[in-house]
Structure 1
């Protein structure tokens, strides 16, 4: 009998609910997502994970912690499968797909600038809960438009804690072991300790790069061109800000929409400062988004900081002091 929580199910049940993996919804660095049906009626999203180096006890403990995490903007993890090397996570189904489908490549966004703005606020509220509102501090470490799902009302929800690092509130250290990310959104300290420690500010960096994309309707990096295209994107958006050019999110432009785009751009540029200490906390980000763009100062010009390749292999394990922010 199916129940919510941490109930484990068999891999044969995964095959049945997905129709032998017939309907693929997407692929990420950590696995493939399929559409499934629970008991023949309720739709679910089934993420079949790539083989992991983590042992079974660590996997089950992490899943149990995630299942105890409940928030309006977090995709509910219903259950999991751990059978030998086969691992899968079963999530509630999000009917409107991921945010990246609505912010790139179209002349007019069906959502509009105001809705994009409210989605940005919703994502920040979710990160606030993950960082400060639950019993364990959760660092997601892979915030990007593809990982923001939209429910029937286009409210944002964050899924996929495959990269999350869970650390108890009274712990001050986290391990860099198996730290990965997505090119274009990775905070510099995630791939090099020379920039600082991995902390909540690492999610802030990814969030900042994402809302710059949301404000501009452009991707921050062309994976074929690599680091150089990120330089171009940041140079372009910063110059738009200095010269008062409209960032032109793909919707009908009016004064209120231009103010929203400018505010999101200012917040995003503060979030991607190279030094984590210069980035705002998630609480401060919410204050900035709710306030007037006129009181926000223009931040220092950002420098691109993505590595020249994806972090598709774990660096040498290191223990890092984690900041309280």
Structure 2
């Protein structure tokens, strides 16, 4: 990587002014002795202290102040407090600036985004460093770069992740995106505390025999001041020390560059990958891009309700699933809904949208490729043909992962996201059978402060839709509607069959949830596909959690956070009351002393 330090100082100082070369009135006067703050470097032209020195002693844009602690500081617009001047090297025309809040990279990025076009001294924008900020709850992630000035311990800390990094390999579970920092000339961890900048105007390097100043139209050199040998000696000493510091900085820079050359091949691979695959935000593709990615729709993965899914390839190692939407996919509202919703989500248990296509009447959604397809493929195979890889331990892990994904949608995003279509077909499995929630075409966003949402029409899939979605006599539509769908999903995972089975041997088995409740309520074991010791305990636990979730009235269902706690617990939860009968209007559902009935405020759609 090339260093952009030489011209960044000019950008940093003069970017804040419409014309950084504005002339000062009056002839120069070489009677301006060097000065300083009680705790700071020696200051002379072009730096100066307004109020303590006349305008002939400095240059526009180089005004300094002494802060309340006696430190030399430079006041820069758009910053919460001045930047401290650690050292000044007049021979090399460089200055080291320090931000006590640790926000120096954000200051530079802010100036870059807001004032770049107005600068007469822009720095080179080749090979910039771009970062995305993530706000993460405890525990700490010590091996990631923390942006301390944006953190609020102990509630959360903010970390900077380079845009070229693949977020799937980073510990960002329960983290949320909170902005970006781009572009930066150097890595953020090299600039988080302090950085060195250089200036070229005014240019005093030619004045090797003495001082320089502004004569009203140009820079002019002056002979050394006589009668001040101590000051002159101090300046010479400062030049030597500054040169040594510069040499140390160059050695350090050389070391960093050498380290970067070692993984040059790896970096090039990532850059090539990012050209087609932006890891942190969906990319808009043209229809020709979609044809190239799918090799002209060569490999068909499946047919859905609203379109056909094809396998695609962004590179030799990155595969995607491309869903080409047909005209039955609404009037465009569902498409916009899914793209806008998926752009907000980054969670290990939610499928990641790579990009989308909206090219004329052609519309497509591009997702990460999950080789094991949907959960439906594995649980609806009949009692004797269930895939042996889906042991009860794996089914429990899948259930817990889906619950954590729903919890993130309800509580971990900037807005609460209600999915409204939780079912086996919309739970995809990666190569390690980790579950990911997909298909957000029916999702709704609402404020995290509100509890319920009004709807003009029912949405979802029959068999998984909560009763209140059909009739408000059961209560208000809220996040508890997703809890109901998840409960039906759990019971189908337990039974390995649809909850409503028209081919059941008797009427009591036709509605599987009722059959499960009757057996467990009598103290009988389910004995469904039990193969090993411990399977019965897991099956019972999943069934009981499912029964808690499918109560007819939302007030009787636990919130998803409690569902996660029940699945994570070592002990099996207690049996709920019969979920298929009316609740006492004055009685809220409880479990182990926990009350979860809440007043639901309705939000207009």
Band the TM-score falls in, shorter-chain normalisation: 0.7 to 0.9
SS of the residue 2:397 aligns to: helix
Q: Does 1:321 align with 2:595?
A: no
Q: Does 1:277 align with 2:277?
A: no
Structure 1 gaps, min length 5: 304-319
SS of the residue 1:14 aligns to: helix
Find the partner of 2:540 among 239, 259, 262.
262
Q: Contact 1:220–1:229 (CA<8 Å) still a contact in 2? A: no
Q: Contact 1:75–1:91 (CA<8 Å) still a contact in 2? A: yes
Q: Does 1:85 align with 2:361?
A: yes
Cα shift at 1:169: 2.7
Partner Cα separation in structure 1 for residue 530 and residue 369 of structure 2: 28
Question: Where does residue 317 of structure 1 map in the other structure?
Answer: none
Partner Cα separation in structure 2 for residue 143 and residue 207 of structure 1: 6
Cα shift at 1:22: 3.8
Question: Where does residue 418 of structure 2 map in the other structure?
Answer: 139
Partner Cα separation in structure 1 for residue 502 and residue 319 of structure 2: 33
Q: Does 1:155 align with 2:434?
A: yes
Q: Does 1:165 align with 2:441?
A: no
Higher relative contact order (CA 8 A, sep 6+): 1
Partner Cα separation in structure 2 for residue 232 and residue 145 of structure 1: 18
Task: Kindly provide the CA deviation profile for residues 204-244 of structure 1, in whole angstroms up to 9, marking residues without a partner as x.
Answer: 0000000011112221124899xx89952223222221233
Question: Where does residue 2 of structure 1 map in the other structure?
Answer: 276
Cα shift at 1:299: 2.6
Q: 1:111 to 1:294 in 2, by over 3 A?
A: closer
Partner Cα separation in structure 2 for residue 143 and residue 210 of structure 1: 7
Q: Does 1:99 align with 2:378?
A: no
Partner Cα separation in structure 2 for residue 258 and residue 25 of structure 1: 35
Q: Does 1:43 align with 2:319?
A: yes
Q: Does 1:197 align with 2:476?
A: yes
Q: Does 1:32 align with 2:313?
A: no
Q: 1:171 to 1:264 in 2, by over 3 A?
A: closer
Q: 1:204 to 1:30 in 2, by over 3 A?
A: farther
Question: Where does residue 312 of structure 1 map in the other structure?
Answer: none
Q: 1:88 to 1:148 in 2, by over 3 A?
A: same
Q: Contact 1:98–1:150 (CA<8 Å) still a contact in 2? A: yes
Q: Contact 1:216–1:248 (CA<8 Å) still a contact in 2? A: no
Q: Contact 2:545–2:563 (CA<8 Å) still a contact in 1? A: yes
Task: Kindly provide the CA deviation profile for residues 102-131 of structure 1, in whole angstroms up to 9, marking residues without a partner as x.
Answer: 222252532211110111111101110000
| TM-score, with length taken from structure 1 | 0.83
Q: 1:114 to 1:233 in 2, by over 3 A?
A: same
Find the partner of 1:130 among 396, 404, 409.
409
Partner Cα separation in structure 1 for residue 453 and residue 541 of structure 2: 33
Cα shift at 1:66: 1.6
Q: 1:133 to 1:207 in 2, by over 3 A?
A: same
Partner Cα separation in structure 2 for residue 292 and residue 299 of structure 1: 22
Q: 1:251 to 1:22 in 2, by over 3 A?
A: farther
State which drifts further: 12-21 or 152-161: 12-21
Q: 1:248 to 1:28 in 2, by over 3 A?
A: farther
Q: Contact 1:174–1:322 (CA<8 Å) still a contact in 2? A: yes
Q: Contact 1:71–1:126 (CA<8 Å) still a contact in 2? A: yes
1:204-219 equivalences under 5 Å are: 204-219=483-498
Partner Cα separation in structure 2 for residue 93 and residue 277 of structure 1: 38
Find the partner of 2:394 among 106, 115, 120.
115
Q: Contact 2:372–2:430 (CA<8 Å) still a contact in 1? A: yes
Partner Cα separation in structure 1 for residue 409 and residue 343 of structure 2: 13
Cα shift at 1:14: 2.0
Question: Where does residue 234 of structure 1 map in the other structure?
Answer: 513
Partner Cα separation in structure 1 for residue 438 and residue 545 of structure 2: 23
Partner Cα separation in structure 2 for residue 197 and residue 224 of structure 1: 34
SS of the residue 1:321 aligns to: coil
Cα shift at 1:12: 2.7
